[in-house]
Amino acid sequence: MLAYDLNKPATACDGATVAILMHGRGSHRGDMQALRSELPPDWILLTPQAPHPGHLWGYGPGWAWYRYLSEDLVEEPGLLESLNALGAFVDQLPEIIRVQPGRVLLGGFSQGGTMSLAYALTRPGNVHAVLNFSGFLANVPSLEAAMHETIETPIFWGHGTRDPSVAHALADRGRKRLAAAGAPLVSRDYEIGHWIAPEEIADAVAFVEELGVEAA
């Protein structure tokens, strides 16, 4: 199973909202725990670690979800391996958090955001909403096939207009592909680079609360 960090309120009980947030390239499972204070206090925060050692692809001492090629292209075998590992992780969620989850939110930053989109498209109905912070929609055959199916998972896509790592043009491209496929998408842009702004988290939380989604 994927390594993870868990921040669970002492008052957590069945029906709690669970936010599974994934780190970016070359980082680790503790990185996204920095968002704990920005999230509602009754949410459970679970941050898994990518399965691929980053140094294999020149990403430093951290971890990676896939090998990046260029633009919105990635090596598909590594991505699929990570998606399978993430699928097994989500399946074990009740055992991990020790309560029955209510709303299950999947998201992440950069590579983690790309992963959340890929997971929702290839495993429809497994999570209640996606929170993509500065990721892109990977252009690989497995996702292209999913784009021809009905996309029902609500998606929040926040992106920096001055992002030097995942250019805003990639956000525009991915959003257009999702919109053309009929995905329920909310897009928000911020005058920032490659990071997550506090107002972005606030917008994502508001997005989730406005959905009013219940446990499956």
Confidence at 216, pLDDT banded by 50, 70, 90: very low
pLDDT score, position 189: 98
Q: Dmax of the chain from CA atoms?
A: 45
User: Which residues lie below 8 Å from residue 60, measured CB to CB, with a gap of 6+?
Assistant: 26, 54
Radius of gyration of the chain (CA): 16
Give DSSP secondary structure letters for 111-180. HHHHHHHHHHHHSTTSSSEEEEES------HHHHHHTTS---S-EEEEEETT-SSS-HHHHHHHHHHHHH
Residue 215 pLDDT level (bands cut at 50, 70, 90): very low
pLDDT of residue 213: 53
Helix or strand or coil: residue 14?
A: coil
For residue range 52-64, what is the model confidence (pLDDT) as tens digits? 999 999 999 999 9
Distance from first CA to last CA of the chain, Å, rounded? 24
Find the mean pLDDT for residues 45-71. Answer: 97
Counting Cβ atoms within 10 Å, is residue 162 exposed (0-12), middle (13-18) or buried (19+)? exposed
Buried b (16+ CB within 10 A) or exposed e, 10-27: eebeeebbbbbbbbbbbb
Query: What distance in Å separates the CA atoms of residue 129 and residue 117, rounded to the nearest whole number?
Result: 10
Give per-residue pLDDT as tens, 102-140. Answer: 999 999 999 999 999 999 999 999 999 999 999 999 999
Residue given tokens 């992963």 in the structure block: 115
Nearest 5°: phi and psi at 47? -125, 100
pLDDT in tens, 133-172: 999 999 999 998 888 888 999 999 999 999 999 999 999 9
Residue 109 forms beta bridges with which residues? 133
The Cα 113–Cα 188 span in angstroms is 14
| pLDDT recorded at residue 181 | 93
Is the Cβ–Cβ distance between 21 and 59 less than 8 Å?
Answer: no
Percent of the chain beyond pLDDT 90?
94
In which element (H, E) is residue 53 found? strand 52-53
